[in-house]
Amino acid sequence: MLLYLLPQIAAILVLGRILGGLAHRVGQPRVVGEMAAGIVLGPSLLGWLAPAAQAALFPAESLGALNAIAQVGLVLFLFLVGLELDPAKLRGQGHAALVTSHASIIAPFLLGSVLALYLYPQLSDASVQFSHFALFMGAAMSVTAFPVLARILAERNLLQTKLGVVAITCAAVDDVTAWGLLAVVIALVRTSGAVEVVAVFAWTIVFVALVLFALRPALRRLAVYHRTRGGLTRGALATVLLVTIASAWTTEWIGIHALFGAFLAGVAMPKDPDFVRDVEHRLSDVTTLLFLPLFFAYAGLNTQIGLLDSPRLWLDAGLVVAVATAGKFGGSALAARMSGLGMRESAALGILMNTRGLMELVILTIGLELGVVSPALFAMMVIMALATTVMTTPVLERIYPASLAQQESADAAPSAFSVLLPVALPSNGPELLRVARALAPASRLRVYPLHLLRADRPLADALAPLPADETDALLPLLAAADGLDIRPLAFVSRDVGGDVVDLAKAKQADLVLMGWHEPVVARSALGGVVRDVMRRAPTEVAVVLSRGDGAWGRVLVPFAGGPHDRAALALARRLAEGPEAVPVTVLTAGLDARDAVSVAAVEAARAAGLDIRPALPGAPLDAVVAEAASGYGLVVAGASAAWGLEPSLFSVAHERLAREVPASLLVVRAGPEQGAG
């Protein structure tokens, strides 16, 4: 069998890469060329031009092995589709997404069912009930190529725009609904009596409930394990594959096809961005480069365009394309327009939802295997899948040009605020995360928790994985990180301060936020690693000393001017404008009117609603200590030599504030771009 299979795989891969590359060069998704490659190798072209060569390359007795490998690829592909689908992101997407998603399912389903009335007598087997045929046609018309659509949106930088959010939400809902309808069709076709149908549906409901409410929470441990180990281990990947295989086998045993189980396994996986990215990185290449082209070839071998041997059949094929387009494009665009989107956005959404791609071929192949559709109708539907996918990119460019898309993307995408959190002790992590959360909305915050273990041993040992008790230092922080873009890091370090500085540069962090540890031997709390980082970090640094019950109430900013005090004031403004919206008072003392930059910063803070007060006459530091002790929960102070004290980066003012004020303290050192040396 290998004598046939290996040349088949080679021919499929070579032609798929060639046609996929050509499709990409003319602005089409690669999947269009790969789908076309399957048809070229089948009876529609190679079998028509050189039937002997086609029969020699794909003898009938070898197609079983090719199909088995292709089915394994489809299991992995449907798992990846489910993995990309985050159900949490489908909630709260607004009226436009809700209305359009329903319309983009109902309209093509109804039109497909009506079309079934015309097609059933001439293009369906007599043994197939009309209800089954109509349900299948409705489901096949309702599907959208979720992976292709996601990649088109990503390439055009539309994922973060309103159009992109609505489109990806609708496509995800469509795919879930289409697979649900297909599961119903498969159950009805494969069972012979009402009792069996009820049993299949009952087992399906039980299995879906177990996956979503028992397996899914248990699988969250994979994301925690992934974070603490700093990547996807072979054991974790093996677990992912075993869960996928078990889920696929279960749904095949139940009677609703293995692909439904694979899709459900993907949906149940943790949606941690780093975990999803690493799993996709491991599986997507072999799936898209090897397995999917084999499926395209197998589908192409079953596509006999030569069966459309009369003008009427070609008119029927055109009718299938027209009905599919009217249902998806028309239904989606009309619903979007009625829900408040503009004409251009509504039309763009309609053409995006009309993309069928590979998902259509998957559903059609199942229908052909079940005998619900005839080979001639299968060929018509394949033409429809190709036509609707090919038209997407050029029509979208006319309706929604790239220049307009780029402008909307730039306007819609908020800048992220990234924070590096070095965590030495497990107890420090949640408080550091709380401070980070207060600085920016969750949608704009990116957090890099970091745990480093000192290594006073040979380099080879230092490169070994961290012991479990050391990686556990991040667990309390990770447990409180729901809803955040959080990217943990943990490794052995021979130069803790240097590694923190290097990571701040590599991750382009906006802020390094560290904990303040009370000194045991050292003269200054701002010493050791903290001092090293504050002197060398290429970005802004803040050191927090947490006190009390964690409730800040009010925030005080002592301000005497200079880059570090300005950095402290800017950070305090973030607290005032951030999720916690804490009231901020700025106490000015010794501010030089000639320091135009600092004066402007104070006036901007006043205009933003911060309370600006001059310090009472007398010693500036005494005034700060007295004010801070009068009911403030947090003091944000610049690391400069403020209040006329010695010109040292780490002023004793902070030592006195730490000793005499019951409030929490945040000491801020400006970044080099802010004027700090």
- Please name the residues in contact with 403: beta carbons below 8 A apart, sequence gap of 6 or more: none
The predicted structure's pLDDT at residue 631: 80
Q: What is the pLDDT of residues 86-121, one digit of tens each?
A: 666 555 445 556 678 788 889 999 999 999 999 998
Q: What is the pLDDT of residues 490-530, one digit of tens each?
A: 877 878 888 898 888 888 899 999 887 544 333 444 457 88
The predicted structure's pLDDT at residue 661: 77
The predicted structure's pLDDT at residue 513: 93
Using alpha carbons only, give the angle 635, 638, 639 rounded to the nearest 5 degrees.
Answer: 120
- Confirm if 352 and 395 have CB atoms less than 8 A apart: no
User: 10 Å Cβ neighbour count for 401?
Assistant: 13
- Confirm if 675 and 568 have CB atoms less than 8 A apart: no
The predicted structure's pLDDT at residue 459: 42
- Please name the residues in contact with 124: beta carbons below 8 A apart, sequence gap of 6 or more: 133, 372, 373, 374, 377
Distance between CA atoms of residues 4 and 544, nearest Å: 68
Q: What is this structure's pTM?
A: 0.59
Topology of domain 417-674, per CATH? Rossmann fold (3.40.50)
Beta strands of 433-546 (E only): which ranges? 445-454, 485-486, 489-493, 511-515, 540-545
Topology of domain 2-410, per CATH? Na+/H+ antiporter like fold (1.20.1530)
Distance between CA atoms of residues 426 and 182, nearest Å: 49
Point out the residues of the chain with pLDDT beneath 50: 92-93, 412-413, 457-470, 518-526, 641-652, 677
- Please name the residues in contact with 1: beta carbons below 8 A apart, sequence gap of 6 or more: 62, 65
Question: b/e string for 548-572 if b means 16 or more Cβ within 10 A?
Answer: eeeebeebbbbbbbbbbbbbbbbbb
The predicted structure's pLDDT at residue 673: 60
The residue written with tokens 């106490």 in the block is 587
Distance between CA atoms of residues 271 and 261, nearest Å: 18
- Token pair belonging to 242: 């075993």
The alpha carbon dihedral of 499, 503, 506, 508 has a sign of: negative
Question: b/e string for 432-462 if b means 16 or more Cβ within 10 A?
Answer: bbbbbbbbbeeeebbbbbbbbbebeeeeeee
Q: What is the pLDDT of residues 285-302, one digit of tens each?
A: 888 888 888 888 888 888
The residue written with tokens 């403020």 in the block is 642
Phi and psi, residue 535, nearest 5°: -75, -35
Distance between CA atoms of residues 46 and 105, nearest Å: 37
Question: b/e string for 601-618 if b means 16 or more Cβ within 10 A?
Answer: bbeebeeeebbeeebeee
Distance between CA atoms of residues 230 and 228, nearest Å: 5
Q: What is the pLDDT of residues 196-225, one digit of tens each?
A: 778 888 888 899 899 989 999 999 888 888
The predicted structure's pLDDT at residue 206: 93
Please report, for the chain, the start and end positions of each structural domain, with discontinuous segments joined by +: 2-410, 417-674
DSSP-derived 3-state class of residue 516: coil
The predicted structure's pLDDT at residue 314: 94
- Token pair belonging to 137: 């046609």
Q: What is the average pLDDT value for the chain, to the nearest integer? A: 81
Beta strands of 470-568 (E only): which ranges? 485-486, 489-493, 511-515, 540-545, 555-559
